[in-house]
Amino acid sequence: MTGDYLNVLSTALAAVAALAALVVALLSLRQSKRQLEAEGLRSARAIDDSLQSRLDPMYPELRRTLGHMQDGVPHEIRQVLVPFFVLYSDAYGAHRDGLVDARDWDGFAQELAYWAQKPISRRAWSQFRKQTWTDGFVVFVDDILAGPPAYPDVAEVATPTLAEWMVAKVD
52 and 94 fall within a common domain: no
Which residues contact residue 84 at a Cβ distance below 8 angstroms, ignoring those fewer than 6 apart? Answer: 112, 115, 116, 121
pLDDT truncated to tens, each residue of the chain (171 aa)?
677 777 778 888 888 888 877 778 787 878 887 787 778 767 767 776 776 777 678 777 877 787 777 778 888 998 899 999 999 999 999 999 988 889 999 999 999 999 999 999 999 999 999 999 999 999 999 999 999 999 998 877 778 888 887 887 766
H/E segment holding residue 45: helix 3-55
Same-domain status, 30 and 76:
no
Check whether residue 21 and residue 88 sit in a common domain: no
pTM of the model: 0.64
Residue that finishes a domain, picked among 14, 42, 67: 67
What is the predicted pLDDT for the residue at 84? 94
The verdict on 11 and 94 lying in the same domain is no
The number of beta carbons lying within 10 Å of the beta carbon of residue 133 is: 20
DSSP letter, residue 56: G
Question: In terms of domains, do 138 and 62 share one?
Answer: no
84's enclosing H/E stretch is helix 75-96
The domain total for the chain is 2
User: How many C-beta atoms surround the C-beta of residue 128 within 10 A?
Assistant: 22
The domain in which residue 35 lies consists of 1-67
